[in-house]
Every structure is written in C-alpha cells, then in structure tokens.
C-alpha cells in the first residue's frame, strides 16, 4: 500500500508539472519599422510616418506597445497620431506624455500578422536645418506574458530643395539656337569688315556694275556697227 501511495504522489506531481509546462509560451519577438512615402521635404510640408509591426513570433500575438517618440521640435511640429487596425490612438495626458514623448497603447484583440499600428503626422517648420530624424526609442511589446524589448527605430528626412541635375531639352535647344545665331552674326560681321575702312554698301556696288556693263556693251556695239558700214562701202 505504501508503494502505491508513493507512486500516486509521483504521478500527481508529473501531472501538475505537465500542466504548468503547457502554459509556457515561446519567447516573443517581432520587428518595428517606420515607413514614409516622403523623405524629401519642403518647409510647411505635412508628411506621415507609418509605424509597422512585422515578423511576429508569438503563440498568442502582440497586445501592447510602449515607446518614446523623439524628434527635433525646432524642425517639426507633431500634428496628430492615429491608431490603426484596432490599436488605440495615443491621447495626450492619458496614453501620451508630451513632455517626455512616452507612448503606451494596446490593441483591441491580438496582432498576429504584419500590420500598421500607428500613423504619426508632422508638419515641417520654417527652419534652416537641412535634415532631421524621427525615432521611437525604448520600444517594448508584449503578448500578455513577458515583454520583448526592441532596439530604437528611426527615419531620416531631408529638408529643402535638391539640385536637379536632369537636363532640360527645351532649355538646351534654346541655348543651342542662341549660340548658333550669335556665331552666324559674328561670322557675317567678320566677312563684311574692311580693315581701316567701313562696310561697303551692297546697293551702290550692284548699280555701278550694271552701269559699267551697259557702257561696255554699247561701245562694243558702236565699234561693230562702224566696221560693218565700212565693209559695205568697199
């Protein structure tokens, strides 16, 4: 009987251990990305950053996120934050601390696949700075058990115009035409220039040539007429 009692206690202990082991989940892991359609910004532009949860490794699914939003307030003004896909929108004084940038949000459900969890909209200030960075620091997510820490994620932006090196065909054609016209004008000027004198008058030269031609023809005609008359008289 004693042996049976001991065996029963061992079996009960194994059952209890198995129950506890059944509630142990694999360690949570995932990625957090910051995405934006615009990285080249002008002053007074508004742009949006999507905070995306991806590559989730959890048997339960992600249910909450804690992070610190960090950005240069001289360059940017925070316009709004909006929760996406069932994630709560951060509320200033409740789930968002404006003074230190701390954000705490959760999801109405469980995130088990890639999804955007937060949209953050900024406006570019009238600044002399040429670039800026928006970051989420001290990021931590949880699936209802042990939280998982994620390294800082950030997104860089350029402010101001970028030099456009793309050739403009219309502008190049105009410059080429102007160059050709100037070359032709200079060539004509060089050919018509007489050293130490002035440009000849084309109209007067043509008239002189015509008059001289008429006189020559008339003289030849008179000489031929005289010779013909002499031959007749003989």
Per-residue confidence band for 199, with pLDDT thresholds at 50, 70 and 90: very low
Helix segments in 64-201, DSSP class H: 169-191
Name all domains of the chain by residue range, CATH numbers in brackets. 26-159 (2.60.40.680), 170-233 (no CATH)
Mean pLDDT of 193-200: 41
Structure tokens at 13: 């202990």
**What is residue 16's three-state secondary structure?**
helix
Dihedrals φ, ψ of 35, to 5°?
Answer: -125, 145
Region of poorest pLDDT, from 21-30, 47-56, 131-140, 197-206? 197-206
- Predicted confidence at residue 28, as pLDDT, reads 85
Q: What percent of the chain has pLDDT over 70?
A: 61
The tens digit of pLDDT for each residue in 133-180 reads: 999 999 999 988 778 888 899 999 999 865 544 555 555 555 656 665
Query: Do the Cβ atoms of 69 and 42 come closer than 8 Å?
Result: no
Indicate whether 63 pLDDT > 90: yes
* Residue bearing tokens 């008058």: 201
Q: Which of 28, 51, 46 is nearest to 137 (CA)?
A: 51
Region of poorest pLDDT, from 58-62, 72-76, 83-87, 179-183? 179-183
Q: Which carries the bigger pLDDT value, residue 24 or residue 77? A: 77
Rounded CA gap, 142 and 60, in Å? 10
Burial level of 214, CB count in 10 A (0-12/13-18/19+)? exposed
**What is residue 200's three-state secondary structure?**
coil
- Whole-number average pLDDT of the chain: 78
Region of poorest pLDDT, from 31-40, 106-115, 143-152? 143-152
Mean pLDDT of 64-86: 97
Rounded CA gap, 226 and 228, in Å? 5
């Amino acid at each position: 009987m004693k042996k049976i009692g001991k065996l029963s206690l061992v079996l009960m202990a194994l059952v209890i251990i198995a129950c506890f082991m059944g509630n142990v989940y694999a360690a949570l892991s995932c990625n957090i990305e910051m995405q934006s359609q615009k990285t080249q910004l002008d002053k007074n532009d508004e742009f949006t950053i999507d905070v995306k949860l991806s590559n989730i490794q959890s048997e339960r699914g992600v249910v909450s996120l804690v992070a610190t939003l960090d950005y240069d307030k001289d360059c940017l003004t925070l316009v709004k934050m909006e929760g996406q896909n069932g994630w709560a929108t951060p509320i200033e004084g409740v789930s968002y601390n404006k003074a230190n940038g701390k954000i705490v949000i959760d999801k109405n459900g469980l995130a088990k696949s890639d999804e955007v969890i937060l949209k953050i909209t900024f406006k570019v200030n009238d600044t002399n700075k040429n670039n800026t960075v928006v970051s989420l620091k001290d990021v931590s997510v949880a699936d209802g058990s042990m939280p998982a820490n994620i390294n800082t994620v950030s997104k860089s932006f350029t402010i101001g115009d970028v030099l456009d090196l793309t050739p403009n065909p219309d502008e190049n054609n105009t410059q080429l035409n102007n160059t050709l016209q100037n070359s032709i004008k200079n060539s004509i000027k060089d050919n018509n220039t007489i050293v130490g004198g002035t440009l000849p008058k084309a109209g007067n030269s043509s008239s002189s040539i015509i008059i001289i031609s008429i006189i020559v023809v008339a003289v030849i005609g008179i000489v031929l007429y005289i010779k013909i008359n002499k031959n007749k008289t003989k």
